[in-house]
Chains A and B, each alone.
Chain A
Amino acid sequence: MVKIYTSICFALFLSVFGFQSSYANEALIKRINSNYFAFQQDTSKSKKDLSANAVKTDTIGQMIRALQKFKTVRDTVNIRSSAPVPNLSLQQIIKGNLAGVYVQEPNGEPGTEQSIIIQGTSGLLFNKKDIYALQPAIYLNGVPLVADNPFAFDVQKYDYNRIGPATNLLSQVDINNIQSITVIKDPFELAKLGPNAANGAIYITTKNAKAGLRDISLNSYFGYVTAPQVNTVNGVYENNFRSQFYKKYNPTGSPASYLRDSTNVAYFGPSNWTDLYYQNTPTFSADLGITGGTDRANFRFFGSGTKNAGNADDTGLDRYNLFFGINMAPFKWLTVSSTVNTARLDRTRNKSLRDRFAETRYIPDLSSPLSPNAESYATYLTQNDRNVDNNRSTVLNGNLTLSAKVNKFVISTTGLFNYNEGIRDYFIPSTLLAGISYISNYFGYSQRVSINNNISYKYDINKNHVIDFELGQSLQGDTYKYNYARAYNGPNDYVKLTFVDGNPTKDGADNPDYLNVLANGNFYVFRYIDKERNNLMSFYGSAKYAYKNLFTLSALLRRDGASNGQPDSRWVTTPAFNANWNLKQQFLKDNKAIDALHLSAGWGRTLRIFQDDRFAAGPQYRSENGWEEEPTIPGYGGLLGINRPYNSGFIGYNISLPYADRTSVTLDASFLNSRVNAAVTVYNRDDKNSVIGLPVAVETGYSTQYKSGMDINNKGIELLVNGAVLQQRDGLNWNTGLNLSYNKNKLSALPDGLNELIYQNDNKLQVGKSVGSYWLYTNQGIYNSDAEVPAGRTFNGIPLKAGDPKWVDYNNDNRIDSKDKVLTGDRLPKFVGGWNNTIAYKNFDLNFNFIFAAGQKAINQYEATRYGFVNREAGNDINSVKEVSSWQSFDNEKNYPIYNPWSPVDAYRTDQDLFLESASYVKLRSVTLGYDFSKTGLFKKAGGKIRRAYLYATALNVFTLTDFSGVDPELINYNGIYDGANITIPRTFVLGFKLDL
């Protein structure tokens, strides 16, 4: 296959040499323009033609000019109304603004990881690794950005945060440098992008070099993130809460040690920790963009600095972003263009106990929690001042494209590179960790290099029939690496680094202590080094046939090889098709009301590659000697041991690569002189042949065996409406855009024809149900007396008693056990969407943006641990940690039955529907009021050189409507657990200006 392809390629290229160019641009330009007459629901199709493959950009800047037209296209983010909103990350920018895209922001701490899921989940949602696998490909100027690899979780005990800076790398782009953000969901376009985009793609195009005399833009804002209003409580409140349990079930029991002495000011004094925890914090940003040059050579420079802040715990993120783009046409037939984007992200992380203990893996005595009193809390913060917590991520990505046009051939070759580096230095003084200091150092990088080549040929059969051919090839190499060391018990609190002996030789011989920690007795060091590489190679050929302006038909065939696939199945061929029918032209040529009407349909298959290289190896041996509490035991007797992966699961042969089959049908129309545009898309996606860990008889040593064959189906419908409700020259204008999407997720098959399985003991998967379902006992109240308990009723073998929950016995065997757990609720929403409005009057404009998500549910673990305080405090584990922010009460807190918290049935367990609640919400995400001075007389007098002078005020996260009883329905972890430990999403107010010269 490969060889044949190569020779064809060579033949084609050789033939090219023979032609002399008399290439004319007009035809292509015209065609490009003609692509935009209609509002596409997925702009990807046309956009791809233009920007993804620079092939068809014939003159410099053409791509940009064409892309600008996308601003009106509906399934892109409205950049103009997003630019004044002080968002930090890509996820925040697109949240609620792209149909079918669900963004979750589980933490208000700036720069923390956020998740994007396009058109429903393609996999499981039970741990952090799963969530990494669901993320779509993000393309920045055609560069598929490489993400952090989740393999680091292998050496972690807790997966709250990945080791290292764990910064959201999609915070790297400044919105003021963005030309367009588009979601790509179309089956054909995704097939064209290949395996990177198996979960869909988001295509970001920055503002780029273009011809023009001069184009300078200067933007800045300044504002505050505001501290929330909090009802604080102290030990009295806690004691009152707990006394009802003691009174009812344990009258002689004594309360937790810190709650015994009511004269202790630390716990029973004023609860004013909020003064030190929450702050109104300034946030600001400034950027400068310069574009200019001639038609044959032009450039763009952009630089920005942003200080983003959280409202709690001194968190924040500083971002510095630089961009440089250049286009050159040394000859009419050859274009060279290049962009480089780089950013540095310095994150100031929270000081929460949970995150610290998760990093140190060291839980000291927790019997005295943090005090709610500001004075006591201040001494704790003083200790924290001696911490070191440097988190620096540096990203660099860019491309170099050569595009040549020879007769009707367009040949282009693109080199893409992407390198992300993360460094974290962490130090905790002994005063904060029960007498020992802790140091950890992390260095890691992710790197992606790829080369794409393609050639296209346009064949005009005659005036009515045109065929475009394209052949392409790409090679992509990824490398992921980290070095991580954690060390305990430094000599004192001034030594905040682990020093290593850097001399490879000593007295002419090899130094036995090379790279060992100096003064070994002082530090207890654990080191972790890991590296993974994977390569992806692809070939594709496509053809597009167009009949007049009526009908187009496209087909694509590609073959991809992934080094992470097993040797006998790593090369896979996948096809895709698309058809587009111009109904307006066909049937309604003379209809005045309808300006455009299209029907398009596509089907495509995309290969999905494994994130981990384990699956390629088949049966394997790893160093897995530990257990849940101590996952990284290095070996035995000072030597490394290897054994089968009993803890992580057996991997056999016959594991083949998964793929996604997508079908979508779109009808889009434009009415009333294009004042109203609407599109409806129906999609069906089958993610097939995914690998899942099946439970196996544990007597084989394993608890799971990985097998291919899980299929997940997502169906949905998406609606987009854009309209100019009011259009008055010099009067009131109101533009509105609504996107609404519905998704239905269903597990459609399991390996071996299984109908259901219990996944890693805590979750169940059942064919026909959503993979996001919870597996829970049904709670129906309380047994008030022993007499109320049906005779002989047991809970997992334990006789139920008064004060225990009344759980439903579905199978009527008088024994409540896992057979009585049912699948209910869903972790992901059924409906998501947003409603964006701009009202303009003269030079004023007002924008407000609503977003919503409905149908998802959450487990309120925060309340479960509050009520189940007995077990929590006795455990002295990570769930026993009581953060300072837990010294508060909430207005809409629910009341739960008073069960016996000392009962062996664990009455406040989280695997019951008692704590399941709706997390649907509607948020007024942003309001912007702006005024454009450039049209006023003042600036006109200045010579009219100012194209735009816009002054605005924005409020972000204005209000939330929800039934959810916690702080914010977004602050739910990916697995559906609300633990109340995350920092709230702040309300932010900024004042800014935008100046275009």
Chain B
Amino acid sequence: MKYSNYKISIYRSVTLVLILTMVGMGNFSCKKIDDVQSTRLATEESNWKTLEDARANLLSVYGLMRSATVSDNTHWLMGDLRQGDFQITNRADLKSIVTGQLNAQYPVINRITNWRRFYAVINAASLFIERSKQIIPLDSRYTTINNNVDIAQVRILRAFAYFYMVRIWGDVPLLTSSHDGDFVQLPRTAKEKVLQFATTELLAAAQVVPFKYGGDDPILPGLYYGAGWASWNGNIFTRLSAYIILAHIAAWQGNYLDAATYSKFVLDNYTKSNGSGSNGIVYLDMDALTENVNYYSPFAFKRATVLVGFPFEAGNGLSTANGHIEQLTLASPFIPKTQPEMFVPKDSILKIFTDPGDLRFSINPLTGLYRTNYFYNFPSEQPIFNKIKVIYTAQTSGNLTLFSSTMLFSRIEEITLLRAEACAVLGQRDEAISALNKAANLRGTVTYDPASGKDLVDAIFEERRRELMGEGWRWYDIVRYNRLKNATGTFIRKNGVPLTFTQFERAGGIYWPVSQDVINANPSVTQNPYWQ
């Protein structure tokens, strides 16, 4: 008995010690509650510490702006549809935009009229401006120069976001700091004030950003975030980008004097962005524009020819279905789809492309053959607008309907035409004609002849309509053109009442309504009176 008792007590002790150990272990691991670090996010403690943090936060501002401009195909829905050249096959929401029923009740319209996505850019930019300085003392690789350039870029992006919004909605609330964690409700700010802010920001930033990053630019020599100019070109904003946006803001405001100056700066200096491994900026020939010619296509790949824009490179896993004009315009035989969602009708094509030598589109009167760079299957009911066709890895046709075309705001031809427009308005006819002919030089058209008696401004806007078709410009060009012409004819009918353009603009008609979701969340924002 004694023996067994002894045995028991040994086992008992061992067991109890075991149990004790487990209890002890449990308590020591109490720290585990406090030490679980999430691998899915960065916190205020872990962000803004290193060079890589700066880069990640900076690039995100670009990413947000890209998403803001292309989500639900905003850029084309807002730029190319309203009174534009496209006709809609089936989609009722797109038809509403074409006919100007911009408050129709469709999910896509509701989403594109919600300006939150632009304010995400603005907030991220403000946050970057406020916070990125913290990195300088913490990471010696992150220099003040680097930081200044980064901040200048996000200021350009923020100004660009404001300009993009003002074109769509007119007056928009102006926020110039992040108000981090403080959800202020601000009313709309007058568009003049917003654009004034954007202009000031751009002018200041333009003095800081270089012509090239990671190259031999004296402003910022050496690699930028460890990469050369060839990998940054087309991706991020340069001094040229800043001046292009400045020129457009000025033109939109009717300040053609500044528009001429800023655009001149771009045309005078664009070669400074060339070199350092980049293929450089060139005036695009026809195939570079529409056939994805490597090194120069502004739509496929990311090339220096993208002066203001945001690429979607397939190689970076960025091909998407939505966010490209191809989703709306392409169909068989380019992609497996029976009908395009929108197309330019035959009559319009013939009306727009009148020059028999036009390489973009023309019909040879002798053979009846037509050029297919812009339109395919012209004789059919729905000619396919195939100017932009970047399918998957920059193919011009394919079964994988994920697209990689760049969201392109401006290329050298575009800014040249803007220069022509500004000079024409200012009466500098020779300058204007030379710019117009320069832009159209590679399109096979007859150059503008001042003796022809054709209105120069008309000629410039007609060339813009041809050259920039499907690049999100048409509606804004219509607005600028009508402002210049100040025509007294009926521009539009609202509920049967005819309105001249001036009346239409004064009523707020050139702007889009803002989504009810925006007003619900901030009642101090009022609906655009035209859409009330």
Interface residues of A (CB under 8 A from B): 2, 5-6, 9-10, 13, 16-17, 151, 257, 330-331, 333-334, 361-365, 367-368, 402, 404, 406, 411, 413, 415, 430, 434-436, 451, 453, 473-475, 477, 488-489, 521, 524-526, 530-537, 561-564, 567, 570-571, 613-614, 616-623, 625-630, 633-644, 646-647, 650, 652, 695-703, 705, 758, 761, 795-799, 817-818, 870-871, 873-876, 902, 904-906, 909
Closest partner residue, chain A, to B42 (CB atom): A621
User: Does B392 lie within 8 Å of A699, measured CB to CB?
Assistant: no
Given A475-B26, A633-B318, decide whether A639 and B180 contact each other with a Cβ distance below 8 A: no
Main SS class of interface, A: mixed
> Which residues of chain A are within 8 angstroms of B316 by Cβ–Cβ distance?
634-635, 637-638
User: Does A695 lie within 8 Å of B29, measured CB to CB?
Assistant: no
User: Does B23 lie within 8 Å of A561, measured CB to CB?
Assistant: no
CA distance in complex: A637, B353 (Å): 36
Most buried by B among A13, A641, A696, A705: A641
CA distance in complex: A477, B30 (Å): 11
User: Does B183 lie within 8 Å of A705, measured CB to CB?
Assistant: yes
> Which residues of chain B are within 8 angstroms of A525 by Cβ–Cβ distance?
317
Interface residues of B (CB under 8 A from A): 8, 11-13, 15-16, 18-20, 22-27, 29-30, 32-36, 38-44, 47, 53, 55-57, 59-64, 66-67, 70-72, 90-93, 96, 101, 103-106, 111, 114-117, 119-124, 127, 173, 175, 179-186, 231-232, 235-236, 302, 310-311, 313-323, 336-339, 341, 392-393, 399-402, 495, 513, 516-518, 520-522, 525, 527, 531-532
Given A367-B338, A698-B518, A796-B516, decide whether A330 and B11 contact each other with a Cβ distance below 8 A: yes
The smallest beta-carbon distance between A763 and chain B, in angstroms, is 12
Closest partner residue, chain A, to B111 (CB atom): A628
Closest partner residue, chain A, to B341 (CB atom): A876
User: Does A562 lie within 8 Å of B33, measured CB to CB?
Assistant: yes
Closest partner residue, chain A, to B114 (CB atom): A698
> Which residues of chain A are within 8 angstroms of B319 by Cβ–Cβ distance?
524
The smallest beta-carbon distance between B530 and chain A, in angstroms, is 10
Which of A5, A453, A701 is close to B116, meaning CB atoms less than 8 Å apart? A701
User: Does B12 lie within 8 Å of A333, measured CB to CB?
Assistant: yes
> Which residues of chain B are within 8 angstroms of A489 by Cβ–Cβ distance?
392, 399-400
The smallest beta-carbon distance between B214 and chain A, in angstroms, is 12
Given A524-B402, A697-B521, decide whether A402 and B123 contact each other with a Cβ distance below 8 A: no
Ranked nearest first, the 9 interchain pairs of A and B with the lowest CB-CB distance are A435-B399, A641-B60, A701-B123, A627-B71, A698-B116, A697-B522, A904-B104, A629-B322, A563-B36
Q: A413-B22, A874-B91 are in contact. List 12 more A-B contacts (CB 8 A).
A: A13-B23, A17-B13, A364-B337, A365-B336, A436-B400, A629-B321, A637-B316, A641-B62, A642-B60, A699-B116, A702-B116, A703-B116
The smallest beta-carbon distance between B141 and chain A, in angstroms, is 16
User: Does A875 lie within 8 Å of B399, measured CB to CB?
Assistant: no
User: Does B36 lie within 8 Å of A621, measured CB to CB?
Assistant: no
> Which residues of chain A are within 8 angstroms of B8 by Cβ–Cβ distance?
331, 333
> Which residues of chain B are within 8 angstroms of A630 by Cβ–Cβ distance?
67, 71, 320-323
User: Does B302 lie within 8 Å of A637, measured CB to CB?
Assistant: yes
Closest partner residue, chain B, to A904 (CB atom): B104
> Which residues of chain A are within 8 angstroms of B38 by Cβ–Cβ distance?
532, 613-614, 616-617
Closest partner residue, chain B, to A2 (CB atom): B30
User: Does B67 lie within 8 Å of A626, measured CB to CB?
Assistant: yes
> Which residues of chain B are within 8 angstroms of A9 by Cβ–Cβ distance?
23, 27
User: Does A619 lie within 8 Å of B180, measured CB to CB?
Assistant: yes
Given A2-B27, A364-B336, A644-B123, decide whether A622 and B32 contact each other with a Cβ distance below 8 A: no
> Which residues of chain B are within 8 angstroms of A406 by Cβ–Cβ distance?
12
User: Does A537 lie within 8 Å of B30, measured CB to CB?
Assistant: yes
CA distance in complex: A703, B123 (Å): 12
User: Does A643 lie within 8 Å of B64, measured CB to CB?
Assistant: yes
The smallest beta-carbon distance between B103 and chain A, in angstroms, is 4
Pairs A–B under 8 Å by Cβ, sample size 7: A488-B402, A531-B39, A535-B32, A537-B30, A635-B63, A637-B313, A646-B116
Closest partner residue, chain A, to B90 (CB atom): A874
> Which residues of chain B are within 8 angstroms of A473 by Cβ–Cβ distance?
23, 26-27
User: Does B104 lie within 8 Å of A364, measured CB to CB?
Assistant: no
Most buried by A among B30, B123, B179, B302: B30
> Which residues of chain B are within 8 angstroms of A616 by Cβ–Cβ distance?
36, 38
Which of A618, A627, A698, A902 is close to B92, meaning CB atoms less than 8 Å apart? A902
User: Does A625 lie within 8 Å of B105, measured CB to CB?
Assistant: no
Given A537-B32, A909-B105, decide whether A700 and B495 contact each other with a Cβ distance below 8 A: no
> Which residues of chain A are within 8 angstroms of B531 by Cβ–Cβ distance?
797
Which of A451, A629, A642 is close to B72, meaning CB atoms less than 8 Å apart? A629
CA distance in complex: A362, B336 (Å): 13
Closest partner residue, chain B, to A489 (CB atom): B400
Closest partner residue, chain A, to B99 (CB atom): A904
User: Does A703 lie within 8 Å of B521, measured CB to CB?
Assistant: yes
The smallest beta-carbon distance between A695 and chain B, in angstroms, is 5
Given A331-B8, A620-B44, A630-B323, decide whether A873 and B32 contact each other with a Cβ distance below 8 A: no
CA distance in complex: A330, B70 (Å): 71
CA distance in complex: A758, B314 (Å): 39
User: Does B103 lie within 8 Å of A797, measured CB to CB?
Assistant: yes
The smallest beta-carbon distance between B85 and chain A, in angstroms, is 21
CA distance in complex: A660, B236 (Å): 51
Which of B33, B67, B532 is close to A797, meaning CB atoms less than 8 Å apart? B532
User: Does A796 lie within 8 Å of B103, measured CB to CB?
Assistant: yes
User: Does A453 lie within 8 Å of B104, measured CB to CB?
Assistant: no
CA distance in complex: A483, B43 (Å): 23
CA distance in complex: A702, B517 (Å): 12
User: Does B32 lie within 8 Å of A638, measured CB to CB?
Assistant: no
> Which residues of chain A are within 8 angstroms of B518 by Cβ–Cβ distance?
698
> Which residues of chain A are within 8 angstroms of B63 by Cβ–Cβ distance?
625, 633, 635-636, 641, 643
Closest partner residue, chain A, to B55 (CB atom): A639
CA distance in complex: A905, B96 (Å): 11
The smallest beta-carbon distance between A528 and chain B, in angstroms, is 11
Given A334-B12, A436-B399, decide whether A636 and B22 contact each other with a Cβ distance below 8 A: no
Closest partner residue, chain A, to B8 (CB atom): A331
User: Does B522 lie within 8 Å of A701, measured CB to CB?
Assistant: no
> Which residues of chain B are within 8 angstroms of A453 by Cβ–Cβ distance?
19, 22-23, 26
User: Does B183 lie within 8 Å of A404, measured CB to CB?
Assistant: no
CA distance in complex: A535, B184 (Å): 36
User: Does A621 lie within 8 Å of B336, measured CB to CB?
Assistant: no
User: Does B321 lie within 8 Å of A362, measured CB to CB?
Assistant: yes
CA distance in complex: A524, B321 (Å): 13
User: Does B516 lie within 8 Å of A818, measured CB to CB?
Assistant: yes
CA distance in complex: A402, B22 (Å): 11
CA distance in complex: A475, B22 (Å): 10
Which of B33, B42, B60 is close to A620, meaning CB atoms less than 8 Å apart? B42
CA distance in complex: A722, B113 (Å): 60
> Which residues of chain A are within 8 angstroms of B18 by Cβ–Cβ distance?
402
The smallest beta-carbon distance between B19 and chain A, in angstroms, is 5
Closest partner residue, chain A, to B320 (CB atom): A630
CA distance in complex: A906, B186 (Å): 32
Which of B32, B114, B181, B236 is close to A637, meaning CB atoms less than 8 Å apart? B236
CA distance in complex: A361, B127 (Å): 33
CA distance in complex: A776, B232 (Å): 50
Closest partner residue, chain A, to B531 (CB atom): A797
User: Does A477 lie within 8 Å of B516, measured CB to CB?
Assistant: no
The smallest beta-carbon distance between A827 and chain B, in angstroms, is 22
Closest partner residue, chain B, to A526 (CB atom): B317
The smallest beta-carbon distance between A474 and chain B, in angstroms, is 7
> Which residues of chain B are within 8 angstroms of A697 by Cβ–Cβ distance?
183-186, 521-522, 525
Most buried by A among B316, B518, B520: B520
User: Does A334 lie within 8 Å of B71, measured CB to CB?
Assistant: no
The smallest beta-carbon distance between A905 and chain B, in angstroms, is 6
Which of A451, A536, A619 is close to B44, meaning CB atoms less than 8 Å apart? A619
The smallest beta-carbon distance between A944 and chain B, in angstroms, is 41
Given A330-B11, A641-B56, A701-B123, decide whether A537 and B33 contact each other with a Cβ distance below 8 A: yes
User: Does A695 lie within 8 Å of B302, measured CB to CB?
Assistant: no
Closest partner residue, chain B, to A362 (CB atom): B321
The smallest beta-carbon distance between B301 and chain A, in angstroms, is 12
